[in-house]
Structure 1
Amino acid sequence: MSEPFRILTGDCLELMRQMPDNSVDSVVTDPPYGLGFMGKKWDASVPGVEVWAECLRVLKPGGHLLAFAGTRTQHRMAVAIEDAGFEIRDMIAWVYGSGFPKSRNIGNDVDGMDGWGTALKPSIEPITFARKPLAEKTIGANVIAFGVGALNIDGCRIETNDNLNGGAYSENGRQSVSDSLRQGGGMNAVGATAGDYIQPSGRWPANLIHDGSSEVVALFPAEAGACAPVMGTEPTSNGFSGSVKYSGMMGRTKGAFHADSGSAARFFYCAKTSREDRNEGLHSSMQPSVVTGATMRDRETADWPARNGNHHPTVKPTDLMAYLLRLITPPGGTALDPFMGSGSTGKAAMREGFRFIGCELDEQYAAIARARIEHELTKPKQLQL
């Protein structure tokens, strides 16, 4: 594939059957959740085993798949993916504050039942994290043979100014430690023989992602490190346990609380979205389709095509899709989205320097996706820090 992206219109199952074996490096997609959203026919059920089997066939051995799902049907999505031959590796939780409860007040039907309803506020979408079985005996050998199988940890670390090594570092991020501790290992000692440790560029990526909204940040403790006192037996940054004076908490008084400050939300990746992100490259009205605080019913009955250039009802933030692509796609690799929608995955792929193949059943959505992706190609590349 020489061009930066290809958009294929039609049934994704038939389109993927025309693709060569082992031809893509990753699959990142937001498929139908099987919830009957807005009465749409395409959301009548989750994709079946045959769809995921085609994803498995075209994906290189060891390649990863990330597929969004709804909380009510996540189990069916994951089972179908697993039955197709994938290994389930994890589940990522995307937490957001923009969901609206679709609940009926039972007090309208039953006297004395005011305050009783039928549903919770939606605030999470699970992402099934799966991998095609390795073709080699080890991940390292698989990466050498096919270029995939590992995760881009450093490329997806969570930026922070915090010291990440529990006292193993000086204030400038470097401090010599003894060879005996170095031989003991620890994640940051891998491959080291002598000299100084180096402060990682950020926190290890987690299986939780949030949108940075005030509703979500409020769920996290304001001072995460102050939730438990120093006991005196905490493990060091190198994995050893013992008294405080020998641990990474040297100098802290037993029984005192940690001095950390700031919301624990900072431990996790934050992917914010905007109206501009949704409509870049499209002719659109400045009037929003729904007002702030709109109910789910308002969203279902809104005139999306008339008011909004991108009238797809379920648009994911480009920042979020870029992060997920970066986590599992090798540099210059090709990503596939069999349920492309309005093209957020493709737009993100262009931003990250990946190639992209997208399948979409609806020609109008495919046209929106093409405009968004082409617009992204005309923008200056953003430097990854």
Structure 2
Amino acid sequence: MFTLTHSKPYKIFNQSCYGLSVLDDNTIDALITDPPYGISYQNHYWDKDLPDKQIWADTLRVLKQGAFGLVFSSVRLMHRLMVDLEDNGFIIKDVIFWGYLNGMPKSRDVALDIDKELGVESHVVGEYDYVQGYKKGGAENYYATKKKLKRTPCSTLGMKYKGAGLGIKPAYEPIILVQKPLEIGLTVAKNVVKYGTGVLNLEQTRIPYAQGEGKVGHNPHPQGRVTANILRVEEWGDGYDKFFVVPKVRQSVDTFNKHPTVKPIELMHHLVNLVSFDGQLILDPFMGSGSTGVASVQLKRRFVGFELDNDYFKICQKRLRVSKPSL
């Protein structure tokens, strides 16, 4: 097992995570990872399939008894990933919903396709600026634009189905909360005494009361409510903003970071705080550009991560080098 120091509380590997051969059994305090979703996101090669379920057996081996984990997923294949996790010994504890308002619908106006199928030319009614959500080549191209023709259906059948599409606007991302079982015969308290794991860090993840809001509950806590399984990106103005609010990341934040699925550091702070305590060791087998590692170092945790893609690994190296623990 490698040694981590105060000056360098992390160790990252530019290699496949499968096997986790450099990690000893029962040595990791918590898991936080954003694995491939298996949905071919933006046609990236690394997202063609869900991870081989072997990684979850490997992860279970290195986690301490009772350790918690957080695994990002997609709505479409979350159920498959949960089965893989459960089949390899994890307990499914909850699903956290990271909600946002600015998701992009994966759809199109099918009425225009109907016109084409019928051999009818759709009317051109104007043009608009097309904003490229991500463009190969890096973050500097994130807001590339070009003019597109705006069309409206012309056929009778096309008019009937005007605006019909194939999907609704995505507004949340699921994060699966899992746990390695406690050691057989131990209570939660005994497991904490032996391993330091088995409980969530609710104290550091409480949601503060809104300005002017009175304390609630039969025994209100001065620091706010226990964190919920809904995390919001923006305030939704519905009179019930009792959830953690975190802005969604934009790829232009770090000009050198071209990873297309970067997670906000504020979100990762919340998740690191939830499943770990000061000084504990966090594992991310699918490190990407290193948001879990950055949040871990900033919150005075230790971190070990794996990333096979050399470009993303170099980005993670750069981000970790400049990360400093919060006071």
Scaled to the shorter chain, the TM-score interval is: 0.7 to 0.9
Cα separation, 2, equivalents of 1:150 and 1:139:
8
Deviation at 1:39, TM superposition (A): 1.5
Q: CA RMSD in A?
A: 1.7
The one of 348, 360, 376 aligned to 2:323: 376
What CA distance in whole angstroms lies between the structure 2 residues aligned with 1:273 and 1:93? 14
Matched, 1:270 2:287: no
Corresponding residue to 2:258 among 311, 325, 330: 311
**C-alpha contact (below 8 Å) 2:4/2:11 kept by paired residues:** no
Pairwise CA distance, 1:104? 1.9
Q: Is 1:156 paired with 2:205?
A: yes
**1:73-116 deviation line (CA, Å, top 9, x unaligned):** 11011111111100001110000122111202110122232110
- Pairwise mapping of residues 1-385 of structure 1 onto structure 2 (< 5 A)? 1-3=3-5, 4-14=9-19, 16-110=20-114, 111-112=158-159, 113-135=161-183, 136-160=185-209, 161=211, 162-166=213-217, 188=219, 199-212=221-234, 217-218=235-236, 221-222=238-239, 264-265=240-241, 267-275=242-250, 278-279=253-254, 284=255, 309-377=256-324, 381-383=325-327
**Contact 2:100 / 2:248 at 8 angstroms: preserved in 1?**
no
Indicate the structure with greater helix content.
1
Distance 1:89 1:360 in 2: 27
Alpha-carbon deviations, 1:290-349, whole Å to 9, x = none?
xxxxxxxxxxxxxxxxxxx10000000011111101111122000000000000000100
SS of the residue aligned with 1:206?
coil
For residues 248-280 of structure 1, the C-alpha deviation after alignment (integer angstroms, 9 at most, x for no partner) is xxxxxxxxxxxxxxxx12x1011224559941x
SS for the counterpart of 1:88 is strand
In structure 2, distance between residues paired with 1:373 and 1:153: 26
Deviations 1:169-195 (A, max 9, x none): xxxxxxxxxxxxxxxxxxx4xxxxxxx
Cα distance in 1 for partners of 2:84, 2:321 equals 33
The structure whose RCO (Cα within 8 Å, separation 6+) is larger is 2
Q: Alpha-carbon deviations, 1:183-234, whole Å to 9, x = none?
A: xxxxx4xxxxxxxxx743111110000112xxxx33x523xxxxxxxxxxxx
**Residues 134-180 of structure 1, C-alpha deviations (whole Å, 9 max, x = no match):** 004211110000000101111100011533345x6xxxxxxxxxxxx
Please give the alpha-carbon distance, in whole angstroms, between the structure 2 residues aligned to 1:103 and 1:165: 43
- TM-score, normalised on structure 2? 0.80
1:183 alignment partner in structure 2: none
Structure 1 residues 19-60: Cα deviation after superposition (integer angstroms, max 9, x where no partner):
100111000011110001122221111123211111100000
Tell me how far apart the structure 2 counterparts of residues 156 and 278 of structure 1 sit (CA, whole Å).
Answer: 25
Structure 1 stretch 31-40 or stretch 107-116: which is displaced more? 107-116
Larger Rg, first or second structure (1 or 2):
1
CA distance in 2, matches of 1:8, 1:155: 29
Q: Which amino acid aligns with 2:201?
A: N
Question: Conserved in 2, the CA contact under 8 Å of 1:341 and 1:360?
Answer: yes
Change (3 A) 1:21 1:277: farther
Question: TM-score of the superposition, structure 1-length normalised?
Answer: 0.68
Aligned length: 275
Stretch deviating more after TM superposition (59-68 or 97-106): 97-106
Find the counterpart in structure 1 of residue 117 from structure 2.
Answer: none
The change in CA–CA distance for 1:109 and 1:273 in structure 2 (over 3 A counts) is closer
Decide whether the 8 Å contact of 1:277 with 1:317 is kept in 2: no
Once residues 30 and 122 of structure 1 are traced to their aligned partners in structure 2, the CA distance between those partners, rounded to angstroms, is 18
Q: 1:138 to 1:42 in 2, by over 3 A?
A: same
Identity of aligned residues (%): 39
Distance in 2 between the 1:211 and 1:141 partners? 37
Q: Is contact 1:159-1:201 (8 Å) kept?
A: yes
Counterpart for residue 227 of structure 1:
none
In structure 2, distance between residues paired with 1:49 and 1:151: 25
Structure with greater strand share of residues:
2
Which runs of 5 or more residues in structure 1 are unaligned? 169-187, 189-197, 223-263, 285-308
Change in Cα spacing, 1:209 to 1:42, as seen in structure 2 (3 Å) is same
